[in-house]
Amino acid sequence: MHCPACDSTNTYVADTIKDASGSIRRRRECKACGRRFSTIERIIDNTPLVVKRGGRREPFNRDKILGGLRVSCAKRPVSAEDIERLGELIESQVMALNKGEISARWIGDRVLAGLRELDEVAYIRYAIVYLNLKDLESVKGEIEKLLGER
């Protein structure tokens, strides 16, 4: 910590106080010039909110993505490591956006893109729920799209 008066780093903590909000206040003193000053540490939660269809918001949660991936990949030849890796990839993509809010749609598209690489059956399973495919015809359409892009 630099002294605000002389810029020396030769400072020490004289006292530490934790206040009710969880912030930590440290009283410091500069050994070089004797100046007294305080610093405050507070928690900044960087977890973005996910905006769901209908406008409901909830904090981004990687475990939720992993849960959806596991269900889609059940009994498929996809390793736990691959699922974990995809979950991590999506989380890092979300964090890289550096936004306070992200649409559920954006995340769902990333999940679909990842599953497509991993396992086509898992992809279709996820697509049925996520794209809200209501009948065989739309499922068939999605499969044909997949086959057509091979």
Chain residues binding Zn ion by CB under 5 A are: 3, 5-6, 8, 30, 32-33, 35
Q: Which is nearer to Zn ion, 28 or 125 (CB)?
A: 28
Nearest distance, CB of residue 24 and Zn ion, angstroms: 22
Owner of token pair 């269809």: 53
Distant-in-sequence, close-in-space partners of 15: CB < 8 Å, separation ≥ 6 = 26, 27
Candidates 81, 134, 86; CA nearest to 111 is 86
Nearest distance, CB of residue 28 and Zn ion, angstroms: 10
Q: Which is nearer to Zn ion, 35 or 64 (CB)?
A: 35
Q: Which is nearer to Zn ion, 32 or 74 (CB)?
A: 32
Candidates 39, 20, 46, 54; CA nearest to 100 is 46
Nearest distance, CB of residue 23 and Zn ion, angstroms: 24
